[in-house]
Structure 1
Amino acid sequence: MPANPKYLTQSKWQRFSKIIAAILGGYLVAISFHLALASWFNRADVIITMAFSGFILWVALMVVAFLAKNGWNIWLIYLGLSLFFLGIFFLGQAYNPIAK
């Protein structure tokens, strides 16, 4: 049974933006989040945990990207989150320069 066309995204640019935001943007947010955690906590534990939680977070962010109405807005949200987590990462590197 095909989907009802009124619920589908009509613009090809919006569809392309959502697909790329889901794949690349979700990956950037998941990786930057785990980098931020690794800069403040035990790096070995975070890296081991990232093998599973990173994939789960990435899939959840993919779903969120496709639920959004506008693909460009989700890109702004994902880039903002990535920059926020990278800022936390650089602060962690400044205050905790030695790996635990």
Structure 2
Amino acid sequence: MPANKKYLTKSPWLRLAKILAGAVGGYAVMLSFHLALTSFLPKKEVIATAFILGYIIWAFLLLWAFIAKNVWRVWLTYILLTVLFLLPYLLNTNFNHGS
């Protein structure tokens, strides 16, 4: 059964923005989340957990980018989450002189 035309994105730029938000933005949030976990947990356990949990988080973020009505809100949310998750990692590496 084909999709109803009124629910499809008409603009190719919005379609590209959704694809990039889901793929690139979702991956950035997932990666920064696991970097934040390395600030609080041992790195070996985070890497082992990221093999499974990373794909699950990325799949949900990818799906949310296509379900959301406003792709720009998705982009803003992904950027804010990425910065928020990177802060503990960046602060931890700066205070420990890069280690």
Q: TM-score, normalised by structure 1?
A: 0.89
1:1-12 alignment to 2 at 5 Å?
1-12=1-12
1:1-100 alignment to 2 at 5 Å?
1-94=1-94
Runs of 4+ with >2 A deviation: 91-99
Query: Identity percentage over the alignment?
Result: 46
Q: Aligned residues, how many?
A: 99
Higher mean C-alpha deviation, range 85-94 or range 43-52:
85-94
Cα distance in 1 for residues equivalent to 2:98 and 2:71: 40
Cα distance in 1 for residues equivalent to 2:7 and 2:92: 44
Paired residue secondary structure (2:3) = coil
**Alignment RMSD, CA only?**
1.8
Q: TM-score, normalised by structure 2?
A: 0.90
Cα distance in 2 for residues equivalent to 1:97 and 1:51: 28
Paired residue secondary structure (2:9) = coil
Amino acid at match of 2:41: F
Amino acid at match of 1:40: F
Distance 1:84 1:12, change over 3 A: same
Amino acid at match of 2:43: R
Higher mean C-alpha deviation, range 10-19 or range 23-32:
10-19
Amino acid at match of 2:17: S
